[in-house]
Amino acid sequence: KANTGPQGPTVNFTLDLAIAANAALQNVGGYIYSNGVIIARISSADLGFDAVAQTCTHQGCTIAYDAGSVTFVCPCHAGTYNLNGDVISGPPPNPVKKYAVSRSKNILTIKG
């Protein structure tokens, strides 16, 4: 199986934490999907967010964030990724792309 590096779209977008659609990000463990990226609230810190591509590199299922293990998990075949998008268990052949997250007041910017 060829490792072709992290997989995911190239993005540059913002999210307003104050709007209802993004309310899940107000709480640690919450996550949302936007522009092919999963954005998770991993801690209560101001910059306690992490973002990786939402599509598993194994068979293209949509991954979710697991707050208990602080990992991204694919529900289809239990592929597991760490916060950097690296595969830590399961069948995925490649990591998922990690994105830079910055914050200015209620606006998150996701780039990569």
The DSSP-derived string for 36-78 is TEEEEE-SSSTT-EEEEESB-TTT-PBPEEETTTTEEE-TTT-
- pLDDT range class, residue 5, cuts 50, 70, 90: confident
Sequence-separated (6 or more) residues with CB below 8 Å from residue 96: 6, 7, 8, 52, 53, 54, 55, 56, 57, 63, 72, 81, 85
- With cut-offs at 50, 70 and 90, classify the pLDDT of residue 1: very low
Please give the model's pTM, rounded to 2 decimal places. Answer: 0.94
Find the angle CA(30)-CA(20)-CA(96) to the nearest 5 degrees.
40
